[in-house]
Amino acid sequence: MKCFVWSQFLYASETWTLNKNTEKRIEAMEMWIYRRMQRISWKEKVTNKKVLESVGLQRPELLLTIQRRKMKYYGHLRRHDSIQKRILEGKIDGRRGRGRRRQTWLGNIRETSQMKMCEVCETALDRRRWRTVTAHLGDGMAPSYSI
């Protein structure tokens, strides 16, 4: 599964802007794959927790993999001068359109890291600190840094 399905699914996932609906769909797809691997029908009323236990996991890991890739990619962009960095940090002249603002890629990075944007920018410049932040992404033990 990881070789054939995930490699295709995760292609360019670093560049995705995730919202709650997309996250739910990603987790649903992962659970669907696990159920297909175990040959568990939806009619059997088996909970996701039991399916994960039968696969040997504690929680779905596909979304966490995407978030880690995004964080690593942001650290790479922050440390190198490239056209992607200029586009990411650039501003567009003109007026904003009507309605609620769309969720942004940088907003996803801020939510995932659970830090302020200025802290995220400073931490990403130091490769060692950024690696510790990305390593502790899903376990709730993200180290706090004073800048």
Residue 90: per-residue pLDDT: 76
pTM for the full predicted model = 0.82
Mean pLDDT of 35-54: 91
State the residue for tokens 């039968």. Answer: 54
Work out whether the CA dihedral 99, 100, 101, 104 comes out positive or negative.
Answer: negative
What band does 140 get if pLDDT is binned at 50, 70 and 90?
low
Q: Please, what is the average pLDDT of the chain?
A: 87
When pLDDT is averaged across residues 46-51 and rounded to a whole number, the result is 92
